[in-house]
Amino acid sequence: MTVLKIEGMSKTFGGLQALTDVNIDVQEHEFFGIIGPNGAGKTTLFSVLAGQIPPTSGRIVFNGTDITGWPAHKIAANGLVRTFQLMRPFESMTVLENVAIASHSKIRSTSKARQHAKEVIERVHLDKYLTAMSGTLSTAGLKRLELARALAMEPEVLLLDEVLAGLVPAERAPIIDLLREIHASGITIMFVEHIMAAVMALSDRLLVMHEGQKLALGEPKQVIEDPTVIEAYLGEEYA
């Protein structure tokens, strides 16, 4: 079953065409990978999906409802939640407080929101750091916090933008395991990632974007062997 349908999505910034007629169907409980050279439009796609910027044209249908033009908070409250490429927790607040704010968007009672936040913090294995100031966390810890804040909003579909960026190789495997756990808990994941080992290990289907368009989509192993995909990446390397 299709959970998220993107139809004829285009976005221009002034004269720049960041997305051109993108059509994607994401299936329920899919792990949907997205790669593409810098500037391909990956982050713009997520910003449009999450309601942070309006599309120039096109439609977004989430669980059968047209959510195009909805404000970001309403989209998130309905279960389509994104994380950011740049992490921005409130550094002078504790891990618990940061997550509780996100829980509060779903739960009115302060004590219940805190309890919910504690459970989410356990899910991302940050429970040792419940009362630590967020600014003191390592990069890997901040990644876990960012995932906790997203999970606290009880997403049905999670949009992850380069969640492994900034991690050294040894730090990646535990976060990849955590992504698997999150997915196994029943959440559909759409993720943009540069680390190919993670992309290949996690993706059910892989989309390659190039210059704002869908260049290839399908089974990951076939997609990365597609000559047009190889050319797009070579083009970037030698540009």
Ligand X SMILES: Nc1ncnc2c1ncn2[C@@H]1O[C@H](COP(=O)(O)OP(=O)(O)O)[C@@H](O)[C@H]1O
- b/e map 86-106, b = 16+ CB within 10 Å: ebebeeeebbbbbbbbbbbbe
Q: Which is nearer to Mg ion, 43 or 188 (CB)?
A: 43
Q: Which is nearer to ligand X, 60 or 117 (CB)?
A: 60
Question: At closest approach, how far in Å is the CB of 127 from ligand X?
Answer: 33
If one asks whether residue 10 binds ligand X (CB under 6 A), the answer comes out as no
User: Which range in 13-21, 57-65, 90-98, 121-129 contacts ligand X by CB under 6 A?
Assistant: 13-21
Residues 141 and 9: their CA atoms lie apart, in Å, by 35
Residues 135 and 143: their CA atoms lie apart, in Å, by 12
Whether 68 and 59 have beta carbons less than 8 Å apart is answered as: yes
User: In 63-201, which ranges are E strands?
Assistant: 65-66, 80-82, 157-161, 188-192
Tell me which of 6, 26, 33, 41 binds ligand X, using CB under 6 A.
41
Q: Which is nearer to Mg ion, 52 or 115 (CB)?
A: 52
Question: At closest approach, how far in Å is the CB of 43 from Mg ion?
Answer: 3
Q: Which is nearer to ligand X, 124 or 223 (CB)?
A: 223
| Site residue total, Mg ion (CB under 5 A) | 2
Residue 41 contact partner, candidates Mg ion, ligand X, none, CB within 5 to 8 A by sort of partner: ligand X
Q: Which is nearer to ligand X, 18 or 207 (CB)?
A: 18
Tell me which of 3, 4, 40, 102 binds ligand X, using CB under 6 A.
40
Handedness of CA 219, 159, 52, 42 (dihedral sign): negative
Between the alpha carbon of residue 86 and those of residues 1, 15, 16, 44, the distances in Å are 32, 26, 23, 14
Burial class (CB in 10 A: 0-12, 13-18, 19+), 21: middle
If one asks whether residue 33 binds ligand X (CB under 6 A), the answer comes out as no
If one asks whether residue 16 binds ligand X (CB under 6 A), the answer comes out as yes
Handedness of CA 87, 88, 91, 97 (dihedral sign): negative
Q: Which is nearer to ligand X, 18 or 215 (CB)?
A: 18
Question: At closest approach, how far in Å is the CB of 9 from Mg ion?
Answer: 16
Residues 104 and 75: their CA atoms lie apart, in Å, by 16
If one asks whether residue 38 binds ligand X (CB under 6 A), the answer comes out as yes
If one asks whether residue 43 binds Mg ion (CB under 5 A), the answer comes out as yes
User: Where on the chain is the footprint of Mg ion (CB under 5 A)?
Assistant: 42-43
By CB under 6 A, name the binding residues for ligand X.
Answer: 13, 16, 18, 36, 38-44
